[in-house]
Structure 1
Amino acid sequence: MVVVTNLIISIVVIILLQLLGMLVFSWMTPFKDMEELRKGNTAVGLALGGKFMATAIILGVAAYTNTSIWYLMLWFAVGYVCLIAAYWLFELATPGLKVSEHLQQGNNAIGILLCAVYLGTSFAVSSLIV
Structure 2
Amino acid sequence: MDPLSLPSLSSPEVQAFAAGFPTTLLHAAVTSVLLFVGATVYALLTPWKEIELIRQGNSAAAVAFGGVLIGLAVPLAVSMSASTSLLEITLWGLAALVIQLLVFRIVDAVLSGLPQRIQEGEVSAAVLLVSAKLASAVILAAAFSG
| TM superposition score normalised by structure 1 | 0.86
Moved >6 Å (runs of 4+): none
Other-structure match for 2:115: 100
Give the match for residue 6 of structure 1. Answer: 23
Cα distance in 2 for partners of 1:50, 1:74 equals: 23
Residues 67 and 130 in structure 2, CA contact (< 8 A), matched pair in contact too: yes
Between stretches 49-58 and 63-72, larger displacement belongs to 63-72
Shift of 1:103: 1.4
Aligned partner of 2:69 in structure 1 is 52
Of all paired residues, the percent bearing the same amino acid is 22
Equivalent residue number for residue 133 of structure 2: 118
Q: What is the distance in 1 between the residues matched to 2:110 and 2:49?
A: 24
Q: Does 1:42 align with 2:65?
A: no
Give the gaps of 5 or more residues in structure 1.
none
Residues matched between the structures, number = 128
Pair 1:77-2:69 in alignment: no
Aligned alpha-carbon RMSD (Å)? 1.8
Indicate the residue corresponding to 1:26 in structure 2. Answer: 43
Which whole-Å CA distance do the structure 2 matches of 1:14 and 1:48 have between them? Answer: 18
Larger radius of gyration: 2
